[in-house]
Amino acid sequence: MTERQRDRGIERRSARVLFSLSVLVVSLMMSANAFAQRATGSISGRVVTEEGQPIPHAKVNIVGVGGGVKKALSGRMEIVTDESGNFIADKLDPASYSITASAPGYVVLPSEKVAGQFGAGTAKYARVGDSVTIRMLRGGVITGRVVNASGEPVIGITVEASRVRDEAGRRITEQTNVNEMVLGRQTDDRGVYRIYGLAPGAYVVNVGAGSMGFSLKSNPFSGRAKIYYPSATRDTAAEVTVRSGEEASGIDIRYRVERGAAISGKIIGAPTGGQSGMTPTVVTLTKAGADTLIGTSVVLPMSENSGYSFYGLPNGEYEVVATKPDFSGADTMMSAPRKVTVSGRDLTGIDLALLPTASISGTIKLEKLAAPPAGQKCESGRDSFLEEIILQAKPDDPNQKSSVNQIYGGLGASAPSDKGEFTISSLRAGRHFVESQLPDEHWFTKSVLLTTAAANNPTAREAGKNGVTLKVGDKLTGLAVTLAEGAAGLKGKLSGDKVPSRVRIHLLPAEPEAKDDLLRFAEVIADESGAFAFANLAPGKYLLAARAIPDSEPSDKPAKPVAWDSLERAKLRKEAETANAAVELKTCQRVTDFALRWVK
């Protein structure tokens, strides 16, 4: 190559670099101009005790969901409350935000959480312009001592507390170690442990090597079975009652050495390149048929070893599943759950094959109301944007558990861009129903249609009525969600003799032609006084029915909606027609004093 040729090559490369830089600058300017069309705002609030007293210096975490926050990089912040418990988050883009608060020794009231919660329940979100009050109460304490068979202290062993019942004694799913972040405490040189900041309820307490499995080091208790208070297995463990601001002391555990069995295997099919290739694979072990988290194991991407293992397991049935997340959500992979039975010996070769997750893409639009009806107010008093909507694909699978894999693999939720485009990622195979959480009480979901199946499959087209069925790795496109202005609302109160402590209120369309329109069905749980409220309802005629919630249903994991099952819909309609509690809701109408009698 001559010197002249080299100079020309340098000139060409320089020109390409300058051109790329100019394109980048223009793109940034266009993005900035486009983004500037959406004015930023703030979310304010207070963190207070149950009695309304301020909690100063509490940490408030605000995390945005949706397209807008990604552009401005303003979707995550941590704020500390002032001496009066106040906080304000400025320069927030129009979007939905989950809000969590933490303060040493305090816990957020379960009914007051304004955040995306894991599980089958509906998440709550705050939006620009909202004023949020987060009430916290003093957490309880469990403390005691761990000794061996000779009565000597056991030093440096991990003690964990898992919440199994709420403050009312109702069973909850045993995910405390993940959702409540109670990861356990180690005993000191006296064998004493103290776990504080616990929500009121009933707990089981165990000692062992720890459940979460993130440590790369082994410890003297690795490979040994967990021992539960007072010196028992999980099935015979005694429950410890925790009350707000009180200490449950003397929870002493006599530790005995029991080896337990091991489960081990390999991760198959993990990608090695790209962003997904750089993330670890998380393996979780749960009790089969329950949400009880037994432990987790992490397979690091930089290691050539693709193996995982769990130790110290008592006999029983378990379920193991692996997740390799992509935090953009697009390329998350999961294995099918694999059930295994431990019966006195180690299990090897329990390999888990990672499979691509599915996704649903589409658009969402809003139909404006031409003119409000006479005498009705149809304005919310605030500007609402498509980016503030939360779209969630809920699986029609009563056995699908809310596990740590959902934390790493995504919640099956998304928010649209300012153009109304959305993609819901990290979905397992099966049938899903797409639901919208709306930022404006005057909006309702009018239709959910799968446009790509319109020509030859009417059943698939009616996605709002029949759900969306996905295969492994499906990238479904063409879902069209239409919203409309003019939604109605209904508030009321349930009364009568011998009303159960937990009642679910069902709302269903009264018109015969709408009997299978799932978008017209709704259900809520009445509060302790019997009050209930429905919002974002399509105008029309409705029937109401009340059903007692069975004791077997955990308070933090409600059953799937009745409307999803055609036979259950028919039963519900008969009950509602017998009860004859009817109401007609007109466009933008708000009924605030509906009286519903409990009749059984």
Q: Is the pLDDT of residue 493 over 90?
A: yes
Q: Tokens 């670890």 sit at which residue?
A: 280
Q: Tokens 């945005």 sit at which residue?
A: 64
| First vs last C-alpha separation in the chain | 94
The predicted-structure confidence for 321-374, as pLDDT tens digits, reads as follows 998 887 665 678 899 999 999 998 999 999 999 999 999 999 999 999 887 777
* 494 in the same domain as 477: no
Q: Is the pLDDT of residue 399 over 80?
A: no
* 478 in the same domain as 365: yes
DSSP 154: -
* 497 in the same domain as 476: no
Give 238's pLDDT tier (boundaries 50, 70, 90): very high
**CB-CB contact of 542 with 510 (8 Å):** yes
Q: Rounded mean pLDDT of the chain?
A: 81
Give the pairing of strands 201-208 and 158-165.
Answer: antiparallel
The predicted-structure confidence for 529-577, as pLDDT tens digits, reads as follows 999 999 999 999 999 999 999 988 877 677 889 999 999 999 999 999 9
Domain presence at residue 26: no
Domain presence at residue 4: no
Q: Is the pLDDT of residue 408 over 50?
A: no
Domain presence at residue 557: yes
Query: Distance from CA of residue 177 to its chain's centroid?
Result: 15
CA-based radius of gyration for the chain: 27
* 451 in the same domain as 366: yes
Measured CA to CA, the distance from residue 13 to residue 18 in angstroms comes to 9
- Of 443, 461, 485, which marks where a domain is finished? 485
Tell me the residue range of the domain where 87 lies: 41-136
Q: Report the C-alpha dihedral over residues 3, 7, 12, 17, rounded to 10 degrees.
A: 130
**What does the chain come to in residues?**
600
Measured CA to CA, the distance from residue 103 to residue 31 in angstroms comes to 38
Q: Which two structure tokens, joined as six digits, stand for 68?
A: 């807008």
For 1-14, letters b (16+ CB in 10 Å) and e give eeeeeeeeeeeeee
Domain presence at residue 565: yes
Give 513's pLDDT tier (boundaries 50, 70, 90): very high
For residue 189, how many C-alpha atoms fall within 13 Å in the half-sphere facing its CB?
A: 0
* 379 in the same domain as 321: no
* 179 in the same domain as 271: no
The predicted-structure confidence for 226-236, as pLDDT tens digits, reads as follows 899 999 988 89
CA angle 157, 159, 160 (to 5 degrees): 145
Query: Distance from CA of residue 588 to its chain's centroid?
Result: 31
Burial of 341 (0-12, 13-18, 19+ CB in 10 A): exposed
* 392 in the same domain as 468: yes
Give 480's pLDDT tier (boundaries 50, 70, 90): very high
Domains: count for the chain: 5
Which of 89-93, 182-186, 291-295 holds the top average pLDDT? 89-93
Going by C-alpha positions, the residue among 493, 593, 505 that lies closest to residue 546 is 505
- Per DSSP, the chain holds a count of helices (H) and strands (E) of 8, 40
* 446 in the same domain as 394: yes
Going by C-alpha positions, the residue among 383, 381, 492, 479 that lies closest to residue 436 is 479
Q: Is the peptide bond before 56 cis (omega within 30 degrees of 0)?
A: no
Q: Is the pLDDT of residue 202 over 50?
A: yes
CA distances from 265 to 294, 332, 359, 493, 581 (A): 17, 21, 28, 54, 57
